[in-house]
Amino acid sequence: MQKRILIIRQDRIGDAVLATAIPREIKKRWPDSHVGMLLRGATKHLFTNNPHVDTVITDNFTPETRQDSFWPMVRELRSHRFTHALMLLPEARINYMAFCAGIPFRVGHGIILFHALTLARPVMTRKFQKGRHEADYSMDLARSIGVKTDDIAPEIHLTEAEENQAAIWAAKWGAGKRVIGLNATSGLSSPNWEAADYAKLAHILQEDGSVQVVVTDYIIPEPLQNLPGVLYPCIGTDLREGMVPLRALDLLVSASTGPMHMAAALKVPTHSLFCPLPACEPALWGPLGNTATFSLPEEEYCRTQCPGDPHICRMQGSQLASPTEVARLILNK
């Protein structure tokens, strides 16, 4: 009997990128399997042109339509006759949709009441175990159904036309210079600089003369707007279109956020701002599959200066995680 496996990842861009290894490893184990992805519409482009994904289903519910969209989604899932569901996000709505869709074998993280009520199989993992990556925890669900792998590197598959366009931009932007991207926004998902700090870094890099700065944000924060010599290729693009400029970079500088993971999946080197707290550190949330370096504040920073919430931390006052120090590291001065 053919395995028809649904992978459910209905959250942020970075989380979805870290799940891109799962279809590949499933197809290695069962080449004739049918692999589906259930995603929010905002992340579906991450799986476009992926040779290991047979079906992409989007669930674009809002708080207002959450209940009204439940049964139509159940009917959609039922029509695909999935045999397995890997529920990467432990969320009640997801669990009950997979149950009502009649998917026989459902797997989720941990022992949770709504999993127990629907007889979903719990996978027990030691969350935040030192040295384990979030992508490895996700792969545990695939391992629980028979996948045997330690390869958790994410991947995004550009089309031939997209690769050609990236190569054209890389040659045009570079012209003997390193092409360095700055992505200033993060949706408050992680510690990050103020936009003015990214503007300061852009100024230092541009002044060096060996660098072409490219701002990769879709909406440009005011301090980064109209900087002399800086390029802004992602304004007005969607997520898929914005991947092509990322592919043209020699390095992306950002916080620990979706574009960092997209760059890694495209094998673009990254330099990332990170928090040293165990729940936020690079070992758990760092980019995978690329060349990655990091800037973290001083060891005592969290105790003496951090506002107490890593999501609103701006690393103000840190010397090790300052624009001047990051520029020095990038320029090797």
Question: How much is the pLDDT for 120?
Answer: 97
Average pLDDT over residues 230-258: 97
Alpha-carbon gap, residue 16 to 71, rounded angstroms: 24
Tokens coding 46:
């991450």
pLDDT at position 299 is: 82
CB 253 within 8 A of CB 274: no
Tell which wins on pLDDT, 263 or 310.
263
Inter-residue contact 101 to 67 (CB < 8 Å): no
Q: Report the alpha-carbon distance of residue 52 to residue 188 in Å, rounded.
A: 32
Q: How many CA atoms lie within 13 A of 68 on its CB side?
A: 6
- Residue 67 pLDDT exceeds 90: no
Please determine, for residue 129, whether its predicted confidence score (pLDDT) is greater than 70: no
Are 154 and 289 spatial neighbours (Cβ–Cβ below 8 Å)?
yes
Q: What is the pTM of this model?
A: 0.95
Using 50, 70 and 90 to split pLDDT, how confident is the model at 187?
confident
CA-based torsion, 7, 13, 18, 23: positive or negative = positive
Angle in degrees, CA 45, 46, 49, rounded to 5: 75
Query: Band of the pLDDT at 252, cuts 50, 70, 90?
Result: very high
* Confidence check: pLDDT of 279 > 90: no
> What confidence tens digit (pLDDT) does each residue in 188-240 have?
778 899 999 999 999 999 999 999 999 999 999 999 999 999 999 999 999 99
Average pLDDT over residues 71-99: 97
Question: Is 59 within 8 Å of 28 (Cβ atoms)?
Answer: no
Q: Residue range 58-81: average pLDDT?
A: 92
Question: At 261, is the secondary structure helix, strand, or coil?
Answer: helix
pLDDT number for residue 189 = 74
Q: Which CATH class is domain 160-331?
A: alpha beta
| Percentage of the chain exceeding pLDDT 90 | 82
Confidence of residue 126 (pLDDT cuts 50, 70, 90): low
Contact 3, 10 (CB under 8 A): no
Q: Do 60 and 85 touch, CB atoms closer than 8 A?
A: no
What pLDDT score was predicted for residue 270?
A: 98
Helix (H) or strand (E) holding 98: helix 92-100
On the question of pLDDT at 105 being above 80, the answer is yes
What one-letter code names the amino acid at 251?
L
Residues 116-129 have a mean pLDDT of 84
Contact 67, 85 (CB under 8 A): no
Summarize pLDDT for 282-296 with one digit per residue, the tens: 999 999 999 999 999
Asked whether residue 301 carries a pLDDT value surpassing 70, the answer given is yes
Give the separation between CA 177 and CA 128, rounded to whole angstroms.
Answer: 40
Q: Where along the chain do its domains lie?
A: 4-143, 160-331
Helix (H, G, I), strand (E, B) or coil at 155: coil
Q: So what's the pLDDT on residue 134?
A: 94
State the pLDDT at residue 128.
57
Q: Are strands 211-215 and 270-273 parallel, antiparallel or unpaired?
A: unpaired
Average pLDDT over residues 141-150: 97
Gap between the Cα atoms of 189 and 16, Å rounded = 14
The pLDDT, as a whole number, for residue 109 is: 93
Instruction: Give the chain's mean pLDDT.
Output: 94
Percent of the chain with pLDDT over 70: 98
SS3 179: strand
Query: What single letter denotes the amino acid at residue 218?
Result: Y
Q: What is the pLDDT of residues 17-56, one digit of tens each?
A: 999 999 999 999 999 999 999 999 999 999 999 999 999 9
CATH number, span 4-143: 3.40.50.2000
**DSSP run (H or E) holding 72:** helix 70-79
User: What is the greatest pairwise CA distance in the chain?
Assistant: 63
CB distance 156 to 265 below 8 Å:
yes
92-100 helix and 70-79 helix, angle to the nearest 10 degrees: 50
User: Closest by alpha carbon to 291, among 244, 324, 330?
Assistant: 330
CB 36, CB 55: distance < 8 Å: yes
Give the amino acid at 221: P
